[in-house]
Structure 1
Amino acid sequence: MQTVHIDQLVDLDADRDLREDRGDVAALAESIAELGLLEPLTVIPREDGRFTIYAGHRRRDAVRRAAELLVADPDHYDLSAEQAAARAEQLHHVPCYERPDLAGRDVLTQIAENGERLSLTDAERARGLQLALVDGLDARAIARATGIKLATVRAADKVAALPEAAQKALATGQLGLDEAASLDEFADDANAVERILRGSHLGYALAEERHKRDRKAKAAQLREQLTADGYVLVSKPKDFPWSSREAELGDLADAEGNPLTVAEYGLAEGHAVFIDSASYAEPRPVHICRAPEAHGHTRLRPTGYVSPDEIARREAEEAARREHAEKMSAARDVRAKFLRRLIGSQKAAAKHTDLLLTIAARWPDLIDAGHRHPLAEQLCPQPEQWTPARIQQCAVATAVLGIDDHAERLRGWNVKHEAALWWWDQLTTLGYDITPAEVEHRAATQAAYTAEQAARAAEQAARAAAEAEDEEDEDQEDEPGADEQDCEDCEDCEDCHAAPTQTTAAGCQWTADTDETGQDGEHDAPAA
């Protein structure tokens, strides 16, 4: 390597130079003015004593620019005019690699230098800038020396304090240096940084975390204020408000039916407040009663909450239902034997066609339920086996099994209690010894039927009262007024319906009474 004066350096011929635009060398010139030329040029000696540049045209241009900058503004580099002039003169002596072996290979040299060079990654650049700052160098001086923007230098300083997740994202290329620096406001919150990095849009994730942070700060301020005011703070109850025991004060009423207020009940025993900050709305206090029923409050809107007493009642009811179902299952086996004797043969079934006719006439839709009965396969033979007698047996069995299956139902849609009661009575009449479970079931059916009839009677009475009221209103509307009694056309008085001896529109007197012969009353001529 040797030093060559800048005036001895010659460019390649224009038709051999691969670069059409050498670009802006201002940043590189700043670096050279501060640190000097760090990477020598590659040159080829010429016969006239000068040197052709094979690699380093931009560096040569940047050296010239750096010398001009030093002379023009020495203060910028903390130099005197003499020092700046001396450094500029020193820059004019350019270090060069003399490579005569590359003569004639200028194109390959340019491709190798510019095509194979690898730039520093953002992580590598950030680490270098961080080390320079650790060494005590000023950010502005680093920017001048490296040609890197001052904002990028400062971004590298911010990245140094970020959590490990951000450092990895920078190293793997998930984030650029400037993007990583934007996480600086969450440097003390590793969880927030991880959530941001999981997002697909950095700007949106940052905005969302800022919103969460602001809500958290407002919630903390609200919590502090509520505590100072003497309220009992609790966490949000599980499943609130849909099926929790706790309820908001505004959804409760006192014994007189008045809605509860925070002013009256907020500080009362058994009442508390939690801060609702789960949504994107502003955090707000929610005042609640922790056990409304225990404090004599009533709920103003239905919820899914079930009190312990109600749970116990339901469990007892379910246990009773299961016990009853077991008893009825055993009773069904006993009743099945009776039904097989009653209609299990063609001859026996023929004796009970009256059952078929009654059921078909009164409750024809129950016949379709016959196939659900456990005895259906036994008592209803397949169609290919049917004879006229078997058809009769199958029809009787289907009707009987249909109403028998329905009689075991107590609740549900379209339950016909009247049909069930009729069938239990028929079984007794036919000689069946009804079991205790069935007696209990029939009593429950009778109670349900009685309640159903009472409700129906009340509904009919209410409907009749409403119809009577409507008729009374219509009669009042139809009652004629005095002005409706005048005739509008009294030419022959055929349509005159005025009251007796009323003066008509034509001025005649008309008597509504009939004479002795049954003829209509006569008209008196109007007075002259």
Structure 2
Amino acid sequence: MAKNTTAAAEQPDPLAALGRLVQVDPRELEVDPHNARKAQQNAKPDAALLASVAEIGVQEPITVRPLEGGKFGVFKGQRRWLAALNAAKKAAAKGKPVRMIPAFVREDLAGADHETLLLSLVENTQRARMTERDTISGAAQLELIGTTEADRRRAARILGLKREALKAARKAADMSTEALAEGSRYGFDMIELADLAEVEELPRAAYELHAAKRSDEKEGKKQRGHWQHTMSQLRQRLAGQRERTAAEERLTKAGVKVLARWRSMDAPDRPLAALTTTQGEEITAEAHAKCKGHAARLDDECKPVWHCADPGKFGHVVTGETKDAESTVTEKARRREVIDKNRAARAAREVRKEFITELCRRKSVSEAAWELVLAAVLNSPYVMRTFANKTAEKRNMDVARFTRAADPEGKEEPFTELIKRTGKARRPQLLLAYVAAAYEAEMLDRAWEHPQGTPHAWLVFLQGEGYTLSAHESAIVAKAGGRPEEPDEEPSSEPQADEEAAPEETAEEAAAEPAEGAQRAEDGSADAEAEGDAERTAREE
């Protein structure tokens, strides 16, 4: 037993090799001349480290050694020391106590330059950085296990993140390794990675978002307008892709052959609408279901257009193909333009309404906004008169959204409580929300066909308030040209596009009364049906 005790006593103290642990004022230290980090840009602490040290100080001791002149030189932990120095200078400038930094003092290295450089080099070459996946997963766990909102906010501050970034980490943690690598290569932050995770199954999604981010950075307004528009378009595309997949699965499960989305020129299939029996009778989908060639091709609304896979083989007669090729190509191009532009209008609408919601939450309204509100109240332009004629449900829906009020459905006076609790300084924002809802009611899918007047004036106003126009909205403004003017009288009836090729209104807009103007005279469901018909015809031909 005595022998073992003696042997244990002879073992060197492993902690002694670390040096003497002290608390020191970071302002009393300097960089050791033999610190391996020579490039200042490599030693500069990043925003996350600065935020962490400012919040909770340096948690891991640095290592210093005595220098000539009585100072101590930092040769391990230079970035932590610089972050502590930054915090100390700010605290001193505000007359606040300076937080000390823990340090190991290596007295034995005084004058030992070779050994000091070697240890500094080992410190910096053998450290493995956390992977992007580790960082995201750790942030996601902090969001999950934080017991209070205060815990989560504090964690975000320590990590140098926005609160929204910590929330976004949960979504980003689920993204694939490939998408994470691509997003990291483009320099996406945690919030941007979470957005990419939402649409990563779309090809080129990361590239499109990268291009949008560069456009935002080029404008230098510190906003994410182009990114938000691109995300809205990608979400729309993803929803369509998933809807199409689900529709194809339903047809396949029912025993129906699903034809390729795009028909090749030499494909024998034809839609039932272009077929008859040998006796000249029309062929219905129900009757054709027993045919071995029974098939379907999904249109752009994922509705089945019934076909026969090979009419000649199964005894049907092809009829009705009389249009010349040039006319067919022109009509297809027009239908494609209508469908694409209407979809672009719907994608932009959601981003625009989010901006308006934030606009109505600002501390004050701009001079231009005041002029818009006063003109709407005093001049009673056409846009306000038509808005007043809408049902209460349609009027209140966007007003409630823009003011973040409670659900107004079924309430006779839905905004009474909101008015009572809104202080004088914020009452103009309530008026702006109402006027904004009136203008938005005029921004129908087909506004691009006749952009003069309300669409042009409204988009120009929003752009002046800091809104980033989508490519579709920019085209509307460019097409209208000139000085934006708001028509005071109801516009005369303008020629409409071919009904079959002019889809426009969503179900929400379809509820508008006939008195709401020429562009709202058609029923929205008919528009949706026209879009489907247009697309089906384009595919069939």
TM norm. shorter chain > 0.5: no
Give the TM-score range, shorter chain: 0.3 to 0.5
Q: Which has the larger radius of gyration?
A: 1
Bigger RCO of structures 1 and 2 (CA < 8 A, at least 6 apart): 2
